[in-house]
Amino acid sequence: MPVKERGYHGWEGSLAPRRFPWFPISVHGIRQVKEKKRAKLLFFFSAFPFLFFLIAVYVASKPELRFLDEITRFINDDSRFFDLFFTRSGLMFVLFLLSVYAGSDLISADLKFNSIQLYLSRPLKRLDYLVGKLAVVMFYLLMFSLVPALLLVVAKLLFSGTWSIGLSTLGAILVYPFLASLALASLVLLFSSFSPNTRLVIVGYVGFFFFANMLAGILSGVVFKHSALGLLSPERTMRHLSALLFGTKPAMAVPLWVAPLLVVMVSLLALTWTLLRIRRVEV
């Protein structure tokens, strides 16, 4: 009998190691998100920043549309183009919404229906469970950040006919969405592990982001008048990260390396905390 079928029965054999035990959790989660109500509508609107930039690339490649040069001149600077795409196109809000939609109930619903125990009664570690859930959110976030960015690279290549994108920009295109998705996915999972009430999870998560932005503004602009406090804002930190990766002008007078360090640390902290929350669940 396969181990998976054995449920709560005692089993004394040794487990054959599987490379990705979390994979079935991810596949199941990805399917569930796709089948949620109004998922297609949300995905459609999530593609708007990409569509807008795609049109811009097309317009810039047409000599007869030169009169739009004023609007589309940012397109010729690849670094600036992708910096704008990631940080100023509304993509951040889109990714934020997607993280709410795909991630808020991932652990919360399991807490509500006591299904974490069911997962952990299988040959799965708590870490596998967490990685499985993380992969669900990452999948959707990368789908609407990394994939469109790569499509824009292809579109630029096709429309201009020459390869202009530098290797460092290409690297940044790969790294930025990954780090942004990791941070959002980790945070939403942390909030999801706080309560079995998904509504409370969403409101807490949204409140945290918007309050952090507000607080960063007031502390850096009014109270302490030090732009480093802008790093309290997830949005500003992501812009700072983008400035580092794409070599654009940062808005804050803070060393650029602080941004990736902060993003990675916050992500790791959130994931560790989530893991501790899952550890509290008794099997």
Partner 1 sequence: MAALYSTAVVFGFFFRLSLHNRRTWLLLGAAFIPVLVLLVARAVTMGGTGTAIGPVLFNQMAVPFLFTLYIPLMGLLGGSSCVGDEIDQQTLVFLTTRPVKKSAVLIGKAGVQTVISLVIVFPALAISFALGFGMYLLSSEGLARLGGYLLAGILATLAYTGLFVMLGTLLKKPVIAGIIYIFGWEYVVQFIPGSTQHLTISHYVKSLLPYKAGGEGFLMFQLEPSPDLQAVIVLLLLSAVFLVLAARVFSRREYVLSEPRI
Report the 10 Å Cβ neighbour count for 97.
15
Number of C-beta neighbours around residue 176 at 10 A: 26
**Three-class DSSP category at 264:** helix
In whole angstroms, how close is the CB of 253 to partner 1 at the nearest point? 20
Question: Are 94 and 50 spatial neighbours (Cβ–Cβ below 8 Å)?
Answer: no
Candidate list 44, 48, 52, 224; residue touching partner 1; CB under 8 A: 224
Contacts of partner 1 in 78-107 (CB under 8 A): 93, 97, 100-101, 104-105
Tokens read off for 205: 């998560």
Q: Distance between terminal CA atoms of the chain?
A: 22
Out of 54, 157, 175, 215, point to the residue binding partner 1 (CB under 8 A). Answer: 215
Give the position of tokens 């910096």.
83
Interacting stretch for partner 1, rule CB under 8 A, among 52-60, 114-122, 168-176, 210-218?
A: 210-218
Which among 102, 79, 98, 100 has a CA at the least distance from the CA of 26? 102
Distance CA(239)–CA(234), nearest Å, equals 9
Q: Contact with partner 1 (CB under 8 A): which of 222, 249, 253, 280?
A: 222
Instruction: Give the span between the Cα atoms of 180 and 144, in whole angstroms.
Output: 12
What whole-number distance in Å separates Cα of residue 205 and Cα of residue 96? Answer: 10
Nearer to partner 1, 179 or 229 (CB): 229
Whole-number minimum distance, CB 214 to partner 1, in Å? 6
214 part of the interface to partner 1, by CB under 8 A: yes
Q: How far is the CB of 273 from partner 1 (least distance, A)?
A: 17
Site for partner 1 in 14-43 (CB under 8 A): 36-38, 42
- Angle among Cα 181, 185, 191 to the nearest 5 degrees reads 150
User: Residue 131 or 185: which CB sits closer to partner 1?
Assistant: 185
Tell whether residue 207 is a contact of partner 1 (CB under 8 A).
yes
- CB-wise, 48 or 257, nearer to partner 1? 48
Site string for partner 1, 112-141 (x = CB under 8 A): x-----------------------------
Q: Distance between CA atoms of 138 and 191, rounded to whole angstroms?
A: 16
Q: How many residues does the chain have?
A: 283
CB nearer to partner 1: pick between 225 and 279? 225
Q: How far is the CB of 43 from partner 1 (least distance, A)?
A: 13
> Which residues of the chain form contacts with partner 1 (CB under 8 A)?
36-38, 42, 93, 97, 100-101, 104-105, 109, 112, 197-200, 202-203, 206-207, 210-211, 214-215, 218-219, 222-224
